[in-house]
Amino acid sequence: MAVIRPFSCIRPTMENASVVASRPYDVFSEEEARQAVGRNPHSILTITRPETQFPAGTDPAAPEVYAAAGERLEAWIRQGILEEDREPSYYIYEVSVGAHQQTGLVGCASVDDYWNHQVKAHEAVRTKKLEDRTRHIEACAAQTGPVFLASHASPEITNTLAHAKLRAPLYSFTSEEGVGHRVWKLSDPAIVASLERKFASLGPVYIADGHHRAFAAARVCEKMRKANPNYTGEEPFNYFLCAVFPEDELQILAYNRVLRDLNGLGTGEFLARVEESFDVRPVGTTAFYPKFKGIFGMYLDGCWYMLSARKKILSQDPVEGLDVSLLQNYLLGPVLGVEDPRTDPRLDFIGGIRGFRALEERCREEMRIAFALHPTSIRELFAVADADRLMPPKSTWFEPKLASGLFIHRISGAQE
C-alpha cells in the first residue's frame, strides 16, 4: 500500500496559470531554457532552472544560483503571482494531447514508502543530476515539480474523479506545445478521506518519470530528520509532490537511438554481424514503424530495414527481455561497441514524440545509423519494478509531459 495524502498547495492564481506553467526542467537544454525565459520571464523555468537569471557561462551549480530560485519563489508569493492554499486538498489534473487524455490525482507521497519500495523505481539516477535537485529543493524549501507516478487501475477512483470533474475547473488552458491542462481542487473532507483510503488499498505505485526528484526529496527528508530528531513523521518534509495516473490511461512512446558511426565496420560487414542475432530485411525508403515487440526499424545509408530478433536471443527475464535490452546486448554493444549507453558520446536518444523524420534528419546531418523501437509497455515497467530491477537508460518516453509550476509543495516554513 502507498500513502497519497492531500497537502496545502502553492499554485498560480487563475490568471497566471498558463504563464507560469512549463514543461519539466530537464527536457530543456540550457540554451532552450534561456530562450523560453526570454520569451516569458514569468515561466516557472526561472525557478526550476535559476541559471537562466544569470549571464551565460555562469556555473549553474553556484550557491547564489540555487539561492536565487528560493528568493524568486518567495517573491512571487508576495507579489501575488502564486497563492498558498490553507486547507490540505487534492487536485485533479487532466492532461490531453490530440485524442489522448489522462486524468490523475495530485497529492503527496510518503518518503518512507519510497524507501520501503511501495513507491517503486525502475531507473537508475545520475549523481550530478541528483545533487542538483537536492540542492534545489533545499534552496526553495519546496518541491516545484511533481513526480509522475503510475498506479494500477481503480474504477472507484476513476469514477470519483470523473464526478468531481463535472464542476468548473480552476485552470483550463492549452500550452504552446498543444497540450491541454485542466485542474480541479478537491477539498471536501469526506471525498478527500475516501480517496486517501482507496489509494492506501490500491497497492504500490510506480515512478513513471521523476526518479531524480523523488530521490532528491528523500535525501532532503533524511537531512531534515537528522536536524529535527523529534520529528513526528507528519511534517511536510516527510512527503514529496506527486501526480498519480492509472496505468490504463497512460501513453508510452518509444525512445529511439541514433549512432555516429559503424564502429569501423563496412556496411556489408556490419549487416552480416547483425544477422547473427536478427533477421534483416530491407523495406525501402519509407520509415518502418515496429508494431510488435521484438521487431526494430533500422535506418542506414538512406534505406530502412526491419530487424526481427531471432528466437535464440529472446528472454522471459523482465529486464533482459525488454526490446531496449535486446538492442543493447546483441547489437549496440557487441557489434557497434557501445559498452555503456549512459556515457558513450557516439550514441544519442530521440523521444518518440519527434517521429521518424527526426531519425532520418539526424542521420543526414551528423549520425550514421538510427534505430526505431517498439514502445516499452506499462506492464513491462511494472514487472521490472516489482522485481526490484532497473531498466536500461532511456527505456520509456511518457507523453504528454506534466507541467511544472501548477503545484508546489512547501516542505518547511510556516504560512503567513
Give the helix/strand (H/E) hosting 308.
strand 303-309
What cell does 54 get? 544569470
Taken in order 350, 354, 355, 359, is the CA torsion positive or negative? negative
What cell does 139 get? 534552496
Q: Which amino acid is at 384?
A: V
- 3-class DSSP state for residue 256? strand
Q: Shortest CA distance to 120 belongs to which of 246, 233, 208?
A: 208
Omega before 60 within 30 of 0, i.e. cis: no
Answer yes or no: are the C-beta atoms of 48 and 68 closer than 8 Å: no
pLDDT at 27: 85
Measured in whole angstroms, the distance separating CA 183 from the mean position of its chain's CA atoms is 19
Answer yes or no: are the C-beta atoms of 132 and 220 closer than 8 Å: no
* CA separation for the pair 94, 37 (Å, rounded): 25
Residues near 177 by Cβ (< 8 Å), separated by ≥ 6? 23
pLDDT at 414: 47
pLDDT digits over 21-39, tens only? Answer: 999 998 888 999 999 999 9
Q: Where are the beta strands (DSSP E) in 155-301?
A: 171-174, 180-186, 205-209, 239-246, 252-253, 255-259, 278-284, 295-300
What cell does 295 get? 521487431
Omega before 400 within 30 of 0, i.e. cis: yes
Q: Residue 95: beta bridge partners?
A: 102, 181
pLDDT at 26: 87
* CA separation for the pair 210, 61 (Å, rounded): 20
What cell does 395 get? 527505456
Q: Which residues of the chain have pLDDT under 50?
A: 414-416
What cell does 406 get? 501548477
